[in-house]
Amino acid sequence: MDDRILKYFLDELSKEESLSLLRELDVNEELKAEFIKYQNTHALLNLGKQIEDRKLGKKKFSEFLKQKQQHALHQRIKRWLSYAAVIVLFVTSGALVSWLLNRNDSNILYNTLSTPAGQRAQLILQDGTEVWLNAKSKMTYPSVFNGKERRVEVEGEAFFKVAKDPEKPFVVTTKNVDLKVLGTQFNLYSYPETDYVQTSLLEGSVYVSMKNNASKGIYLKPNQQITVRDGQMKVEPIAEKEHFLWIDGIYAFEHEPLISILKKLELYYDVKIIVEDPSIFKDTYTGKFRQRDSLDDVFRILQQIRQFKVSKNPERNIITLSK
């Protein structure tokens, strides 16, 4: 196993070393698969809402890794990982959570998985639902779906392939909006920095409603998207399906205003971008770039359409665009 993965989750890598590792994941499938396994182990051990002391979570993760190096436990873990792409799939009875965290197996562990700027993550939930989280996003989910519904909470952007279960609807909560589905594929865009929630449906059916008024919602059909802003809902055809390539590490935009692109770049790269000349905002842009590309690479793509100058203030993490 690559030692950098362990050091990454134990916060022992520098920022430069972490970025180098994350970019390498896009071109090294074996390393990426190994990273996903440990990422979700870390989510179980360190990011659960029931673990208030993050130092304790980190300690338990470290202890877990040390135990894994012992032959007997190593063989057991190997068998678990051969059954599923991520450990979360194995947590169907709560027994593993109870063993790892010394908790009663009647309690359900709620995990929170977060992705930093410039990174995305893939997760498979206990029911088989696949979820991709975009940069600077967060999802809270239970280790086991008990009760009459499967409910998760999302902040940021996420793409779902929901496993079908007619007896147990899948519900996604974000801001003041609920999405209810049985089995479908859809993208959810709901960053705290934005004043709207947008859901784009690719397959199946989604019922979108306000939390305080579930009876007056709207059913989406495939290839439709709904934007909720200030309690108002607007349904329209999906403008650009290539946007969803982000789950493969590709960011695409077509005839998109620069101001919209820059807002996304601020999220993806965790920087503040200032435009000194508002006339630059009038242009629309079409192009693609990979998540592993640097911000300089992205600006070079944009400058092929219209020239502008780029100045940086590393200390304040600010980038300024001007004519």
pLDDT digits (tens, 9 = 90+) for 285-319: 888 888 888 888 888 888 887 788 899 998 888 99
Task: Establish if 133 belongs to a structural domain.
Answer: no
Q: What pLDDT shows up at residue 273?
A: 92
Residue span of the structural domain in which 281 resides:
249-322
DSSP 142-158: ESS--SS-EEEEEEEEE
Final residue of a structural domain among 75, 93, 108 = 108
Gyration radius (Cα) of the chain, Å: 21
Q: 205-261 pLDDT, tens per residue?
A: 999 999 888 888 999 999 999 999 998 999 999 988 888 999 988 888 888 888 888
In this structure, the number of other CB atoms found within 10 A of the CB of residue 301 comes to: 15
In angstroms, the Cα distances linking 45 to 9, 195, 307 are 11, 33, 48
Give the domain-ending residue among 108, 137, 170: 108
What pLDDT digit, counting tens, does each position of 110-161 carry?
A: 888 888 887 888 888 888 899 999 988 999 998 888 888 999 999 999 999 9
End position of a domain, from candidates 48, 73, 108: 108
Would residue 271 count as lying in a domain?
A: yes
| 273 φ/ψ angles, rounded to the nearest 5 degrees | -115, 125
What is residue 318's predicted lDDT score, i.e. its pLDDT?
93
Q: pLDDT category, 276, cuts 50, 70, 90? A: confident
Token pair belonging to 52: 């208030």
Question: Could you tell me how many residues make up the chain?
Answer: 323
Q: In the structure, what pLDDT confidence band is assigned to residue 33 with cuts at 50, 70 and 90?
A: confident
What would the pLDDT profile of 40-95 be if each residue is shown by its tens digit? Answer: 565 544 433 333 444 555 555 555 555 544 444 444 444 444 333 333 333 322 33
In a domain, 125, yes or no: no
Q: Is residue 97 part of a domain?
A: yes
Q: Can you tell me which residue has the tokens 């940021």?
A: 156
289 in a domain, yes or no? Answer: yes
Whether 213 is covered by a domain: the verdict is no
What pLDDT score does 48 carry?
37
Inside any domain, residue 299: yes
| Tens of pLDDT, residues 266-275 | 888 888 999 8
In the prediction, which pLDDT does 210 show?
Answer: 94
Q: Is the pLDDT of residue 104 over 50?
A: no
* Cβ-based neighbours of 168, under 8 Å, separated by 6 or more: 127, 145, 147, 148, 149, 150
User: CA 304, CA 308: separation in Å to the nearest integer?
Assistant: 10
Angle, helices 54-68 vs 71-83, to 10°: value is: 100
Q: Interior CA angle at 125 toward 66 and 42, to 5°?
A: 25
Integer angstrom CA distances of residue 211 from 91, 135, 152, 173, 181: 29, 26, 14, 8, 15
pLDDT for position 50:
37
Q: Give the three-state DSSP class for 135.
A: coil
Q: What is the C-alpha to C-alpha distance for residues 97 and 44, in angstroms, rounded to an integer?
A: 8
CA separation for the pair 131, 123 (Å, rounded):
5
Q: What is the pLDDT of residue 94?
A: 31
CATH at 289: 3.55.50.30
Return the structure tokens found at 30: 């074996």
Residue 264 lies in a domain: yes
pTM over 0.75: no
Averaged confidence pLDDT in the chain: 78
Query: What pLDDT, on the 0 to 100 scale, is given for residue 105?
Result: 38
Q: Which whole number is the average pLDDT over 190-198?
A: 92
Count Cβ neighbours within 10 Å for each residue of 99-118 and write b for 16 or more, e otherwise. Answer: ebbebeeeebbbbbbbbeeb
Domain count within the chain: 2
Hunting for tokens 């000349």 — which residue is that?
A: 277
Encode burial over 34-61: b for 16+ CB neighbours within 10 A, e otherwise: bbbbbbbbbbbbbbbeebeeeeebbebb
